[in-house]
Structure 1
């Protein structure tokens, strides 16, 4: 019985300490508030629950240093955002690349939803300037650390999903991420020529060939223009630093054209 009372006193003491450790509220400076307001203006988003937005940018080092409740950092939102991104990008690729195999879609998605890519998106959106960091993390260059930036981007997606739903996430990605995919930023992970060949053979459309129609620029910075022809009729055109890259971009444009034609049938 005495042992039980001792345990009870100890537990109560620990509980009181935990409360003292975590009873401080999140207090932002006027400059920090302005940064969040500027972010919403840049992204044309209005969070109904601003606490979610702030949490998305709250690093665990800031929580530890300011003795705020541990669940107020962005790690849980990062977990959710990762899943929402996987779904959103999967849906986009599924609809856009109608002839792409499951394996190729998986590879392409992995190249988009990965640390270097997400960190780059976060940099372009100036997320690193806003994130709330502890002094130690700040001094060691945390704002520019790719892993931290990628985590913040995922947490932001998680917060946006909770606040406004999937449609708002898709609109945000349509403004920031999807254009990069459309521009071919991740085309190094894809073999458009093989996809085009499979598309042509599947429907017995005829024969395709690639022709370099132009070479421009100095020898050390050459650019090639390739045209892909179907039964000697132009189907797509692309440019690149090498003939292979130009042919890949031409095949990509041809696939997009054939997919649009298929929709109209």
Structure 2
């Protein structure tokens, strides 16, 4: 029999996840339709468990990606009239990428409120960048549907304020592939190659796993929604192992 204290502790955590009140306080927004926030925080691993319904945050994630891109594009267009199209695209990509989304998610403690399956729970899914980033996009889409563009714009610009400032000041460096290439060339230790190790998930929501190597030596491994994103993640891990970035 499960210990009384442990049983009630688990129940307390579950109530917290189901109510979402604390999360609403952290983002300074209260949902009118509570089903939207519940859907936004429901990972497919939870939805796919036999006892649960099949509604997950994947559709909201799709919409949230577009909403976030629009808001950041509009902000950069209006605030940085000195930037050409190429620079605008570069800055937007750095702001809306998976690491930025995961960082925002962690700052509001989003992982605590996620509804994930037992497998993801046991393997640390609540703190995985890809899951946090997807949930962050889904949450933004839910706010957009619940309150409209003006409200979600305000929330996005508040949540991403520090990241936007850091990117525009050049304090965030995300072209890890170029940086790794420069480092390897300067060290004269050989030619780097990228290899696709595996693809995980359904066709509409694949995760790619890439390794960066010098010969048979694996320098780093990375995950991403595209092969390019996974290559950047692998290069970042390699730079971290080499002590170039922290």
With normalisation by structure 2, the TM-score equals: 0.61
Aligned residues: 161
Q: CA deviation at 1:129?
A: 0.9
Q: 1:40 aligns with which of 2, 20, 24?
A: 24
Q: CA deviation at 1:69?
A: 3.2
Q: Does the CA-based 8 Å contact 1:108-1:186 persist in structure 2?
A: no
Q: CA deviation at 1:185?
A: 6.6
2:45 equivalent to 1:31? no
Q: CA deviation at 1:184?
A: 4.8
Mapping of residues 130-209 of structure 1, within 5 Å? 130-184=113-167, 187-188=170-171
Q: CA deviation at 1:66?
A: 4.6
Q: Does the CA-based 8 Å contact 1:82-1:154 persist in structure 2?
A: yes
Counterpart residue number, 1:51: 35
SS at match of 1:187: coil
Counterpart residue number, 2:72: 89
Unmatched segments (≥5 aa) in structure 2 = 1-12, 174-246
Q: Does the CA-based 8 Å contact 1:111-1:186 persist in structure 2?
A: no
When residues 98 and 185 of structure 1 are mapped into structure 2, their CA distance, relative to the original with a 3 A threshold, is: closer
Q: Does the CA-based 8 Å contact 2:63-2:138 persist in structure 1?
A: yes
When residues 185 and 127 of structure 1 are mapped into structure 2, their CA distance, relative to the original with a 3 A threshold, is: farther
Q: CA RMSD in A?
A: 1.9
Unmatched segments (≥5 aa) in structure 1 = 1-27, 191-265
Counterpart residue number, 1:115: 98
Q: CA deviation at 1:67?
A: 3.5
Q: 1:61 aligns with which of 45, 58, 70?
A: 45
How far does the alpha carbon of each residue in 1:146-194 deviate from its partner, in whole angstroms, 9 at most, with x for none? 000100000001101100001111110122113431355762479xxxx
Distance in 2 (CA, whole Å) between partners of 1:79 and 1:87 is 13
With normalisation by structure 1, the TM-score equals: 0.57
SS at match of 2:48: helix
Distance in 1 (CA, whole Å) between partners of 2:114 and 2:82 is 40
Mapping of residues 242-261 of structure 1, within 5 Å? none
Q: Does the CA-based 8 Å contact 2:39-2:56 persist in structure 1?
A: yes
Q: CA deviation at 1:60?
A: 0.6
